Structure 1
Amino acid sequence: MAERTTCVVVGGGPAGMVLGLLLARAGVEVTVLEKHADFLRDFRGDTVHPSTLQLLDELGLGDRFAKLPQSRLDTVSVPGPPALAIADFRKLKIAHPYVAMVPQWDLLDLLADAGRAEPSFHLRMNTEVTSLVREAGRVAGVRYRTADGTTGEIRADLTVGCDGRWSVVRREAGLRPREFPVPIDTWWFRLPREGNERAHLVPEMRDGHFGVVIPREEYFQIAYLAAKGLDGRLRAEGVEAFRDRIRAVVPQLADRVDAIASMDDVKHLDVRLNLLPRWHREGVLCIGDAAHAMSPIGGVGINLAVQDAVATARLLADPLRRGVAARDLARIRRRRLLPTLVVQAIQRLMHRVVIRPVIEGRRNGPPKPLVTLMNAVPWARRIPAYVIGVGLLPEHAPKWAQRNNNTENK
């Protein structure tokens, strides 16, 4: 016999875990399905932005989060000459004027532990969704397969796809995103870091190369951006040629590129930028990357996905108790569309005027008019800081989901 729940959430990433926790605190029976055995994966988005930090405070998890190993970024700068501070979070009047860099598995473990404290929260690891169950013209749940080969069904009033840019839920529901052209892919890897080295995020642009140096607690996380479709060529050229590329873009770290032992240490991200025209069908909804894959520019994908999850819980908690309808699901897209469109428009502009000219070797560094403006008008740095750190229409935990830190830490 099929199992039964009120809401089945597919994908145990930040959006799925936040949605599951919030719905459980509303008393809704919710089951989160995660296909992996644990959350331990490198180079998933590890940025926790000010609005998400505020949310964790509202959920009573702020103190526990603060105890996790993390580095904090309060500025985004481009080295000169002339040097340019793109964003300065310290100028924002918010509770957390910085971006916390935390291994995503630590954040997900924190959310999972908080969820397990709620009687109606259920997390199933090693459980991969393979298809959707349909009944009377609507989606009525999911079919799954576990790591040991066991198959089964979970029937649900609502299925929510939080399963990323290659979403099975989206595909099976027949929802097709509009793809926007993207000129880049990203290659992620680590380099050693001395403890006293700089602790701010630094984009590097020179001689046809683009890199981003992200300080972590014990290492530098490096993003190398180059033309889309280049992965096969990079791997055919071999690790020494790749090291030469990194020496060129981050010469200050040239003495440690031998830490890249082979191209197996370099993880390729096929960058996508897309948007679903419609986020739902009867009985099913997509949010986060499943509804709108984001470029890594600005590192805002996780923040937007979490905001989607909060809006979804707030708007659907009551309908799920009485019977959720298509009009209820349509409200999620209406609420979250504007922030998504604005961020994607900014990312497409950045691709066109900053990234593409650099990787094509037509310019080193950002456009001169931008450098002039940002250096002449320092308060202008608050604008990108706010867009990156807080965003339009920041979502807050509903009253019924809020806890104080003293209560949550008992």
Structure 2
Amino acid sequence: MADWYLWAWILCSTMTLVVLRGSVLKRRKGNGISATRGESVRRVLAGNGECRSADGSDADVIVVGAGVAGSALAHTLGKDGRRVHVIERDLTEPDRIVGELLQPGGYLKLIELGLEDCVEEIEAQKVFGYALFKDGKHTRLSYPLENFHSDVSGRSFHNGRFIQRMREKAASLPNVRLEQGTVTSLLEEKGTIRGVQYKTKDGRELTAFAPLTIVCDGCFSNLRRSLCNPKVDVPSCFVGLVLENCHLPYSNHGHVILADPSPILFYPISSTEVRCLVDIPGQKVPSIANGEMTNYLKTIVAHQVPPEIYDSFVAAVDKGNIRTMPNRSMPASPYPTPGALLMGDAFNMRHPLTGGGMTVALSDIVVLRDLLRPLRDLNDGPNLCKYLESFYTLRKPVASTINTLAGALYKVFSASPDQARKEMRQACFDYLSLGGVFSTGPISLLSGLNPRP
């Protein structure tokens, strides 16, 4: 079996290199301007192209979307003295079943951005690592936090509560303006994005202008086609449940069950609630309306969850608040566009198995903040464009590491009738179960604690 440990690690490394090489080649191919840009970009500007908003006030940056990425970005740029206009489709508290686990590396970025208090007063739970389950065996994989302050760990929480705290933090700055509205198109003049057209909450059609527009409108973005090659893959769907008043086998840990056909996740999102995410491969899931989903969860899934939480799982299924969410994956393949930038899930997605999305987004914001700080005048178009192109290179160490591991581990952790993949799955579990350096290396990579492997 020792040979299998070695082969598992070699194969994982090979997969990583293959995926990285593929992503680099894709980026090299995609430097043109999108042929479909006309679908969402309107040429409505003429004359001197002044950067002035509809109500007459100036903005340095327009941020489209106020989710995790948009809110954190608005606060960060606002703290640096930028005048920021945030336009968000719906400013009420979101209700999602993903975006609830922040890795320790992401928490460190939150500290760097001065946003660590956003995980306070929302019943966020500290997370110290993972528990891995397979065929009745289990092992604990701890984050390597020995060299960090005692407050540093992962955090899990209700996504909506976290986002509302971030929005409040951004809106507290006098030079940040949050407005509810739906951006319908980007405004382009001579190849440069000058602002946006949007519809307000009361139905008015307005325009807003700024030298830089940053699109952070999430995985359902209707603007990304203008700014990148939106090759979105949907490898699976998550089925979400909330278990109440149950005790996980390992407190303050995320639980990953290597189930058939694919992984099941459990992690706390408050002091009394545990999120369960059941992964179902493909884009079609059993119907909730006609009872197929309930039957699937009780007959296929329930017997594979740890016995300590079996009753709570069945009770959650019977309660019936079952939600589904497609798991999207999209490489970062931008069209460098003067005056505009994509960030967050509108720009780059990976399978959410490892919970790395918010860590990548917050890391990207730190990179962009540091890039823009020396550039006081964002109206200097050519200089701004040069700085923004550097962003794509500087973000790679963190983003590529987390993206690659998310895809590779999802493949390795999913069941397969292929004998070689079965043995590799077992070897990966056995290898990580050895602990020590055998687990701290991979865990430090996927948690964002080792951003430059």
Tell me the TM-score normalized by structure 1: 0.84
**Bigger shift: residues 114-123 or 290-299:** 114-123
> Are the counterparts in 2 of residues 73 and 101 from structure 1 also a CA contact under 8 Å?
yes
Q: Deviations over 1:260-296 (max 9, x none)?
A: 3576x22222112111322531111001211211111
Q: Structure 1 stretches of 5 or more lacking a match? A: 395-410
Distance in structure 2 (CA, Å) of the matches to 1:381 and 1:92: 15
Cα drift, residue 212 of structure 1: 0.9
Cα drift, residue 187 of structure 1: 1.3
**Bigger shift: residues 193-202 or 362-371:** 362-371
1:209-228 → structure 2 map (5 Å cutoff): 210-216=263-269, 217-228=271-282
Provide the residue aligned with 2:317 in structure 1: 260
Distance in structure 2 (CA, Å) of the matches to 1:303 and 1:153: 32
1:2-401 → structure 2 map (5 Å cutoff): 2-3=54-55, 4-62=58-116, 65-79=119-133, 81-85=136-140, 87-95=141-149, 96-124=151-179, 126-171=180-225, 173-179=226-232, 183-194=235-246, 198-199=250-251, 200-208=253-261, 210-216=263-269, 217-231=271-285, 233=287, 236-244=290-298, 245-250=300-305, 252=307, 253-256=309-312, 257-261=314-318, 265-278=321-334, 280-319=336-375, 321-322=377-378, 323-324=380-381, 325-357=384-416, 367-391=425-449, 393=451
> Are the counterparts in 2 of residues 186 and 223 from structure 1 also a CA contact under 8 Å?
yes
Q: Which amino acid aligns with 2:188?
A: R
Q: Which amino acid aligns with 1:273?
A: S
Other structure's SS at 1:230 match:
coil
Cα drift, residue 179 of structure 1: 4.2
RMSD: 2.9
Other structure's SS at 1:164 match:
coil
> Are the counterparts in 2 of residues 49 and 98 from structure 1 also a CA contact under 8 Å?
yes
> Are the counterparts in 2 of residues 31 and 123 from structure 1 also a CA contact under 8 Å?
yes
Runs of 4+ in 1 over 6 A off after TM superposition: 360-366
Q: Which amino acid aligns with 1:203?
A: V
> Are the counterparts in 2 of residues 185 and 268 from structure 1 also a CA contact under 8 Å?
yes
> Are the counterparts in 2 of residues 23 and 317 from structure 1 also a CA contact under 8 Å?
no
Q: Which amino acid aligns with 1:188?
A: G
Q: Which amino acid aligns with 2:111?
A: D
> Are the counterparts in 2 of residues 19 and 309 from structure 1 also a CA contact under 8 Å?
yes
Cα drift, residue 228 of structure 1: 1.0
Q: Deviations over 1:364-408 (max 9, x none)?
A: 8972222332233522222233223225548xxxxxxxxxxxxxx
> Are the counterparts in 2 of residues 19 and 312 from structure 1 also a CA contact under 8 Å?
no
Q: Deviations over 1:175-209 (max 9, x none)?
A: 223445x5422111212223686422111234435
Distance 1:279 1:341, change over 3 A: farther
Distance 1:236 1:365, change over 3 A: farther
> Are the counterparts in 2 of residues 68 and 102 from structure 1 also a CA contact under 8 Å?
yes
Distance in structure 2 (CA, Å) of the matches to 1:319 and 1:149: 36
Distance in structure 2 (CA, Å) of the matches to 1:315 and 1:12: 21
> Are the counterparts in 2 of residues 207 and 248 from structure 1 also a CA contact under 8 Å?
no
Distance in structure 1 (CA, Å) of the matches to 2:83 and 2:327: 35
Distance 1:370 1:198, change over 3 A: closer
Q: Deviations over 1:204-239 (max 9, x none)?
A: 234435311112321120000112122255655534
Distance 1:338 1:249, change over 3 A: same
Q: Deviations over 1:61-92 (max 9, x none)?
A: 4456344312122120113543233x311554
Distance in structure 1 (CA, Å) of the matches to 2:231 and 2:433: 37
Q: Structure 2 stretches of 5 or more lacking a match? A: 1-52
Distance in structure 1 (CA, Å) of the matches to 2:419 and 2:242: 25
Other structure's SS at 1:220 match:
strand
Distance 1:44 1:371, change over 3 A: closer
> Are the counterparts in 1 of residues 131 and 250 from structure 2 also a CA contact under 8 Å?
no
Q: Which amino acid aligns with 1:343?
A: I
Q: Which amino acid aligns with 2:241?
A: F
Identity %: 19
Distance in structure 1 (CA, Å) of the matches to 2:201 and 2:158: 25
Other structure's SS at 1:339 match:
helix
Q: Deviations over 1:232-255 (max 9, x none)?
A: 556555343134133233263332
Distance in structure 2 (CA, Å) of the matches to 1:184 and 1:313: 34
Tell me the TM-score normalized by structure 2: 0.77
Distance 1:240 1:65, change over 3 A: closer
